[in-house]
Structures are given as structure tokens and as C-alpha cells.
Amino acid sequence: MRAVHSVLIAAALAAAVPAFAQQTRIEDRLTASEFRDAGLGKLSETELARLNELLERSASPADGPASPDVETRIAQAREEGRREAQGEDRGLRPTVSREPVESTIPGPFTGFARGREYTLANGQVWKQTDSASIAGARGQDVGVRVRPGMLSVWWLQVDGYNTQAKVERVR
């Protein structure tokens, strides 16, 4: 990811300040505080050398505007950033809406049980994670509400009953 950031910083610097093209190294182009504020102090010597190489290549007048290769790398960097922001590249689920859901459970409803999955009419599937139960609960096409709670917890409640079950979304 550092390399992606380096490429983006290089592209922004090369496009923003034409006077930079006359100097060769990024360290010479920026003041110490600009260098530090841009986060470039975190780069290793290898990464810094690569950044300088990219800047020198992009400053060359023979290159003209950004080549398709650079455009492709910028598009890839944007996509990686989007995935990183949503947690996809770390095996996490993408961020989910925190809006309450009102739907029905089509077919028979036989109560709550730990580990049971509830498929809603809107296609969402929720799995019960606690041991809440409703003694003798039975129904057909019952209405349900799934609402967010504190600390990323979700609660499922069935129409006609006050008991709530702690659930997590499966899909």
C-alpha cells in the first residue's frame, strides 16, 4: 500500500507544480516541514528512491500527459483504497448499513434458538447469537424488525412478542 501512496503522491506533485520538474529529488523540492507533513518521512530509502524515479520519469517532457499505464495504476490504487476502506483486503466484511430493517419471515416460524438462521422476505439472512427463546411461539409469515443496538449488536424482534434475540447478518 505504501507504493500506491508513493505513486499517488508523485502524480499529484508532478501535476501540481511544474517548477518541480527542474529539480531531481523530492527531498530537494520540498522544505523539511512539507516533506514531513506529506508523510514522506515514513518511506524507506528504497521507497524514496522509487518515488524519485517516478517523479523524474513523469517530469520528462517526452512523456506528455499521463500515459495509459499511469492511468491504469491510478485506477488500481483507487480500487485498493476503496477495498482497504471497506476492510475487504483484510478479510473483513464491507461496512453494512445501520438502518433498521422491517420485513417478514416467510413460511413457518417456530421460535428463537441459538445458532438458528432467519431468512427474511427481503433476502437477508440473520443468525441468532444468544440463547433467547420464546416458549411455544408459532406462526406463519410473521413480521419482524431487526434494529441496531450498541457496539455493533443487532436485535431481532417478532411481531406479537416482547422478547428480542441478538443476531448477526450472514448475508
Q: Name 169's bridge partners.
A: 126
- What does the block give as the cell for 123? 433476502
pLDDT at position 147, please? 95
pLDDT at position 109, please? 92
Plot region of 151 (φ>0 → left; ψ -120 to 50 → alpha; else → beta): left
* Mean pLDDT of each 10-residue bin along the chain, 171 residues long: 63 57 72 84 87 78 61 83 66 68 93 94 95 88 94 93 93 86
Residue 55 CB contacts under 8 Å (≥ 6 apart), including other chains: 10, 13, 14, 20, 26
pLDDT at position 123, please? 93
State the pTM of this model: 0.45
- Domains of the chain, by residue range, sit at 2-90, 101-169
